[in-house]
Chain A
Amino acid sequence: NAGVTQTPKFQVLKTGQSMTLQCAQDMNHEYMSWYRQDPGMGLRLIHYSVGAGITDQGEVPNGYNVSRSTTEDFPLRLLSAAPSQTSVYFCASSYSNPLLAGGPGEQYFGPGTRLTVT
Chain B
Amino acid sequence: GQNIDQPTEMTATEGAIVQINCTYQTSGFNGLFWYQQHAGEAPTFLSYNVLDGLEEKGRFSSFLSRSKGYSYLLLKELQMKDSASYLCAVRGGDTGRRALTFGSGTRLQVQP
Residues of A that sit less than 8 Å from B by CB: 4, 40-45, 59, 90, 98-101, 104-112
Closest to A35 in B: B102
B77-112 interface with A by 8 A CB criterion: 87, 89, 91, 98-105
Q: Is B31 a contact of A111 with CB atoms below 8 Å?
A: no
Beyond A43-B43, A109-B42, A110-B42, whether A99 also contacts B91 by CB under 8 A is yes
Beyond A43-B43, A109-B42, whether A104 also contacts B33 by CB under 8 A is yes
Complex interface: chain A residues within 8 A of B13 (CB): none
| Among A59, A100, A104: residue with most chain B CB under 10 A | A104
Q: Does B60 touch A at the CB level, under 8 Å? A: no
Complex interface: chain B residues within 8 A of A101 (CB): 30-31, 50, 91
Q: Is A41 a contact of B104 with CB atoms below 8 Å?
A: yes
The CA of A57 and the CA of B43, in the complex, are separated in Å by 22
Complex interface: chain B residues within 8 A of A4 (CB): 42
Beyond A42-B87, A42-B103, A42-B104, whether A100 also contacts B98 by CB under 8 A is yes
Complex interface: chain B residues within 8 A of A106 (CB): 33, 45, 48
The CA of A42 and the CA of B24, in the complex, are separated in Å by 13
Beyond A42-B4, A105-B91, whether A99 also contacts B42 by CB under 8 A is no
Closest to A48 in B: B100
Complex interface: chain A residues within 8 A of B104 (CB): 40-42
Q: Is A104 a contact of B43 with CB atoms below 8 Å?
A: no
Q: Is A45 a contact of B42 with CB atoms below 8 Å?
A: no
Some 6 contacts from A to B, beta carbons below 8 A apart, are A40-B104, A42-B4, A42-B104, A98-B100, A105-B91, A105-B100
Q: Is B102 a contact of A42 with CB atoms below 8 Å?
A: yes
The CA of A107 and the CA of B100, in the complex, are separated in Å by 11
Q: Does B44 touch A at the CB level, under 8 Å? A: yes
